[in-house]
């Protein structure tokens, strides 16, 4: 009897996923429509001070501080969290900001004008560069996390086009595992694991969704969620902030095309996020910045909660085939 699951191990983090191997699923089973954010009032439109922000060609991106003191690090392994000094708390503060498109821009990132998509990434590069310059490593490790959430199921709080920027005074577990995995692979093979993944996925083709001049987009073999995608630049670099404008334009175009591929599922909710080197850390040889796309198509079930073992009901080979076909039909 054929097993229900294949246990697959991620080559970077070492985390395991249980991937359903039955490919008889119809992709309509995963056609979850993004739920709109309730309400018609948009404070980002109201707060836009730009006089001509309603003009269709308006592309100015605003940087809005939502909480300049969003994160306070408290080490619960100490004898008593209450004994932490105020100076320690103050030194570990992070921030939460949002990069907001001009008034009236409630379209999807996939549908934004190329110039606006580029300006979002330019503003992101500038914000990350400033946050990194303000950090004080090695005493305070600062990781800048960039997230775009589309649809209420993905945690979106507004329909306004935006990118959220979190300056976190530590390296989150997922990123830390990637940094460690990249270093171990470099020591063992003298090569970058992400460069290797991009090359082998393009050559094999089974999980390949998109191959462009500067990027390779594929469904990871050990995908933790259905229709998960990884967007990996061909050029090896650890730090997103080092990209020039040509690189940013190519990045914006690839992200938009990748998100258009999800239209094979209708208009699904998703989280898009960036993994890049923590501020001030030289990981040139061992880390490779990249984007990830995680459609939010299902509820986390009991087995996953009980074991922390990700269960993916759509094999990445199947997901890539569906998305490739959609892109080819739409071209």
Q: Tens digits of per-residue pLDDT, 220-240?
A: 999 999 999 999 999 999 999
Q: Buried b / exposed e across 155-169, counting CB within 10 Å, b at 16+?
A: ebebbbbbbbbbbbb
**Is the model more confident about 78 or about 177?**
177
**What's the CA gap between 119 and 128, in Å, rounded?**
14
In 10 A of CB 51, how many CB atoms? 7
Q: Report yes or no: 87 and 73 within 8 Å, Cβ to Cβ.
A: no
**Does the pLDDT of residue 218 top 80, yes or no?**
yes
- Indicate the CATH number of 43-49+59-72+88-330 among 3.40.50.12500, 3.90.226.10, 3.30.428.10, 3.20.20.480: 3.30.428.10
| Residue % of the chain over a pLDDT of 70 | 87
Residue pLDDT, tens place only, 268-317: 999 999 999 999 898 999 999 999 999 999 888 888 889 889 999 999 99
What's the pTM value of the predicted model, to 2 decimals?
A: 0.91
**Does the pLDDT of residue 189 top 50, yes or no?**
yes
Please report the pLDDT score of residue 86 as a whole number: 47
Please report the pLDDT score of residue 27 as a whole number: 62
The mean pLDDT of 64-83, rounded to a whole number, is 70
Burial of 36 (0-12, 13-18, 19+ CB in 10 A): exposed
Strand 5-9: give its sheet, edge to edge: 5-9, 16-20, 310-312
Q: Report yes or no: 255 and 306 within 8 Å, Cβ to Cβ.
A: no
Please report the pLDDT score of residue 137 as a whole number: 57
**Does the pLDDT of residue 81 top 70, yes or no?**
no
Domain ranges of the chain: 43-49+59-72+88-330
Please report the pLDDT score of residue 78 as a whole number: 62
**Is the model more confident about 4 or about 46?**
46
**Alpha-carbon Rg for the chain in angstroms:** 20
Q: Distances in Å between the alpha carbon of 201 and those of 61, 184, 231?
A: 35, 21, 12
**What's the CA gap between 30 and 160, in Å, rounded?**
25
Residue pLDDT, tens place only, 35-63: 988 776 888 998 888 877 666 566 889 99
**Does the pLDDT of residue 24 top 70, yes or no?**
no
Residue pLDDT, tens place only, 96-153: 999 999 999 999 999 999 999 999 999 999 999 999 988 765 556 899 999 999 999 9
**What's the CA gap between 121 and 194, in Å, rounded?**
22
Please report the pLDDT score of residue 10 as a whole number: 97
- Split at pLDDT 50, 70, 90, the class of 71 is confident
**Does the pLDDT of residue 90 top 60, yes or no?**
no
**What's the CA gap between 250 and 235, in Å, rounded?**
12
3-state secondary structure of 273: strand
**What's the CA gap between 182 and 178, in Å, rounded?**
6
Please report the pLDDT score of residue 152 as a whole number: 94
Q: What average pLDDT does the chain have? A: 89
């Amino acid at each position: 009897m054929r097993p229900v699951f294949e246990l697959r191990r991620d080559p970077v983090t070492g985390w395991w996923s249980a991937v359903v191997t039955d490919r008889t699923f119809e992709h309509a089973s995963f056609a979850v429509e993004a739920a709109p954010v309730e309400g018609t009032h948009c404070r980002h439109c109201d707060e836009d001070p730009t006089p001509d922000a309603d003009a269709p060609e308006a592309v100015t991106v605003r940087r809005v501080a939502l909480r300049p003191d969003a994160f306070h690090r408290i080490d619960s392994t100490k004898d008593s969290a209450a004994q932490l000094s105020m100076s320690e708390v103050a030194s570990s503060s992070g921030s939460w900001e949002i990069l907001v498109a001009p008034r009236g821009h409630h379209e999807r990132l996939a549908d934004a004008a190329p110039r606006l998509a580029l300006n979002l990434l330019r503003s992101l590069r500038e914000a990350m560069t400033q946050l990194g310059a303000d950090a004080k490593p090695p005493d305070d490790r600062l990781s800048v996390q960039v997230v775009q959430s589309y649809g209420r199921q993905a945690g979106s709080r507004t329909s306004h086009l935006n990118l959220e920027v979190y300056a976190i005074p530590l390296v989150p577990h997922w990123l830390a595992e990637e940094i460690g995995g990249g270093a171990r692979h470099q020591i063992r093979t003298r090569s970058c694991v992400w460069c290797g993944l991009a090359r082998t996925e393009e050559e094999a083709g089974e999980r390949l969704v998109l191959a462009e001049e500067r990027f390779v987009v594929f469904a990871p073999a050990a995908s933790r969620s259905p229709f998960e995608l990884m967007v990996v630049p061909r050029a090896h670099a650890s730090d997103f902030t080092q990209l020039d404008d040509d690189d940013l334009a190519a990045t914006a175009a690839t992200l938009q095309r990748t998100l258009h591929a999800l239209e094979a599922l209708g208009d699904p909710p998703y989280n898009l996020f960036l993994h890049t080197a923590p501020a001030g850390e030289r990981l040139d040889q061992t880390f490779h910045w990249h984007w990830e796309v995680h459609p939010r198509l299902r509820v986390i079930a009991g087995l996953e909660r009980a074991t922390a073992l990700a269960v993916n009901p759509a094999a990445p080979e199947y997901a890539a085939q569906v998305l490739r076909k959609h892109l080819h039909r739409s071209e």
